[in-house]
Structure 1
């Protein structure tokens, strides 16, 4: 049994739930989900920080007390030995390169723009950074579009964890003012991901909660 600490509207957390379900692992049978809201300090309690000093979600905990953090590391561990992560070393490295791209060149812009637009006041000083975030977000989407013009997936010849990772925030890029109109191959890929067996949509957040969904990795 795996215990997952996560905040449902977070794309980083949704990656973990989506992969678990697509691996055939079922909620309450194979894993527990502990809803953990960082906005009200649930990742800053002494108990949580003892397990994850970085104080972020998602985090998984095994029955023996072993803990793993960072969403893409969790995806790699869950997918090891399955079709979601290529066995061939070169193809595996290619998939990993897209995971690093997602956390370094994609999520810091697209996810943060989404947060600022949806969960900060109209007069928030953070909104001054939106033009740069959107510019960088479009740059990341353009890289993805170029890849998808010649390849159906990011994990290799088949759907896998790089697609799971990149889907999470790409699908909600328009929420941050980053439109997808200019990326036809990317939009087709989103549709292919959504047609995969066991697919789960990213839940809509509650704007009134003022949650810090960009505080996840």
Structure 2
């Protein structure tokens, strides 16, 4: 059975857990924490020299890091990856947007406000910059979701799963989602999709 090393409250770690639940893929969950140093221990660093989670370990000992790479691998051949080449490219576009534009602002601002160990980094300048950047990212999503029910047209893809992870908790970072009604409706749509589980979900 594959092992997923993840931190329960992390949006990046929620992504593969959510997809694996939707695909009914059995896995063993190994709880990790960046706070207690477990991601920096030698045995874990030997698996992922970057010292971050999530990390998926296969039965044969191979490992795969980076949340969106894990999504792409696990979703191959499923309904969550478009068959059309252009739509697949759009899906990749949103995955890159999530990591380069969305996560560095929305997820980081949430972390600065939620985790006590990050409070020292929550300077007024950084909070202002991440608020501005996060609102710009939400506006990009809003503009797309005014046109289509999901980010890549009419079907839910791993782009939606990736962006749902931190968007659904954006209010914890001080973002007012009522200003983005199409994003709010999309969040409900994603949560209503078959097999959906909350961020706290772990396999039995």
Q: TM-score range by the shorter chain?
A: over 0.9
Report whether the alignment pairs 1:68 with 2:64.
yes
Residue in 1 aligned with 2:162? 165
1:87 and 2:79 equivalent? no
Alpha carbons 1:116, 1:127 under 8 Å: kept: no
Aligned residue runs from structure 1 range 53-132, under 5 A: 53-120=49-116, 124-128=120-124, 129-132=126-129
Q: Tell me, what secondary structure is at the counterpart of 2:80?
A: coil
**Partner deviation per Cα, 1:7-30 (whole Å, 9 max, x = no partner):** 0110000000000000122xxxx2
d(CA) in 1 for partners of 2:123 and 2:116?
8
Matches within 5 A, 1:134-153: 134-153=131-150
Report the counterpart of residue 33 of structure 1 in structure 2: 29
Residue 122 of structure 1 deviates from its aligned partner by: 9.8
Match of 1:194 among 169, 191, 200: 191
TM-score by length of 2: 0.94
Aligned to 2:20: 20
SS of the residue 2:178 aligns to: coil
TM-align CA RMSD: 1.5
> Partners of 1:131 and 1:52 in 2: how far apart?
33
Q: Structure 2, unaligned stretches of length 5 or more?
A: none
Residue 179 of structure 2 aligns to a residue in which SS?
coil
Counterpart check, 1:185 vs 2:185: no
Structure having the larger proportion of residues in helix: 2
How has the CA–CA distance of structure 1 residues 125 and 165 changed in structure 2, closer, same or farther, with 3 Å as cutoff?
A: closer
Between the aligned partners of 1:62 and 1:150, the Cα distance in structure 2 is 39
Distance in 1 (CA, whole Å) between partners of 2:22 and 2:59 is 22
Task: Provide structure 1 residue ranges, at least 5 long, that are not aligned to the other structure.
Answer: 205-217
* Matched residue count: 200
